[in-house]
Chain A
Amino acid sequence: DAMVIQNPRYQVTQFGKPVTLSCSQTLNHNVMYWYQQKSSQAPKLLFHYYDKDFNNEADTPDNFQSRRPNTSFCFLDIRSPGLGDAAMYLCATSRDTVTSGGAENEQFFGPGTRLTVL
């Protein structure tokens, strides 16, 4: 089945120690997104890639970076994790982002990676 895969599902890191989270997709979608979701809150968009074009949200801290080496894979790098970065990190994909678009714009989420910072 076509899907969005996130590895690992659980990640523990130490305060200040760089960590990378991984997302892959078999949907062949153009767009990949990274969201941060803290406990009892809605997902918050960090950034997205349209193909190789990176689009950062204005309020995303510099501590968060991303790489998309090919269509299938996208990585979230947290350069110096703080205690406040402990959260669920969700990857999502969509085929397109057309302004007047319909189903091709819909985002499909992976299962998430739960990050713990010690």
Chain B
Amino acid sequence: GQQLNQSPQSMFIQEGEDVSMNCTSSSIFNTWLWYKQDPGEGPVLLIALYKAGELTSNGRLTAQFGITRKDSFLNISASIPSDVGIYFCAGRSNYKLTFGKGTLLTVNP
């Protein structure tokens, strides 16, 4: 089946730093999504991308849908302690989401 490679697996950064994470796929997706999951909670949708090359921002978050439709990245600028959590990328084909394995982000105040 389809697989997404998400990296890095984990990141430890200082408050105020920028962070970047990315996902690559062997398959093409029509939609790329980025979710954040806090411990003991469900994933929350951060950004949805629908067109190849699309660059979308949501506050301090910026994500891009790769031109090849096989990759996406998420940038977080000026990180704050509440940014901690697990970030999942997901590619969507029809109804089905294929998730990356997640990036665990720790922000040291």
A interface residues, Cβ below 8 angstroms from B: 4, 6, 31, 33, 40-43, 45, 48, 50, 55, 88, 90, 92, 94, 97, 99-100, 102-103, 105-112, 114
Question: How many angstroms from the CA of A50 to the CA of B94 in the assembled complex?
Answer: 12
Q: In chain A, what residue has the closest Cβ to B102? A: A42
Closest beta carbon of chain A to B9's beta carbon, Å:
10
Q: What is the number of contacts between chain A and chain B, taking CB atoms within 8 Å? A: 54
Q: Cβ of A42: which chain B residues have Cβ within 8 Å of it?
A: 88, 99-102
Closest beta carbon of chain A to B52's beta carbon, Å:
14
Tell me whether B31 and A108 are in contact (CB under 8 A).
no
Q: Cβ of B101: which chain A residues have Cβ within 8 Å of it?
A: 41-42
Question: How many angstroms from the CA of A92 to the CA of B88 in the assembled complex?
Answer: 15
Tell me whether B94 and A109 are in contact (CB under 8 A).
no
What is the interface residue range for chain B against chain A? 20 to 34
Q: Cβ of B48: which chain A residues have Cβ within 8 Å of it?
A: 102-103, 106
Q: Cβ of A4: which chain B residues have Cβ within 8 Å of it?
A: 42
Q: A42-B102, A100-B30 are in contact. Are A94 and B95 (CB under 8 A)?
A: yes
Name, among B35, B95, B102, the residue most crowded by chain A CB atoms within 10 Å (CB to CB). B95
Given contacts A45-B97, A100-B30, A108-B45, 13 further A-B contacts (CB under 8 A): A4-B42, A40-B102, A41-B101, A42-B88, A50-B95, A55-B95, A105-B31, A105-B92, A107-B45, A107-B97, A109-B44, A110-B42, A114-B40
Q: Cβ of A94: which chain B residues have Cβ within 8 Å of it?
A: 95
Q: Cβ of B30: which chain A residues have Cβ within 8 Å of it?
A: 99-100
Q: Cβ of B50: which chain A residues have Cβ within 8 Å of it?
A: 102
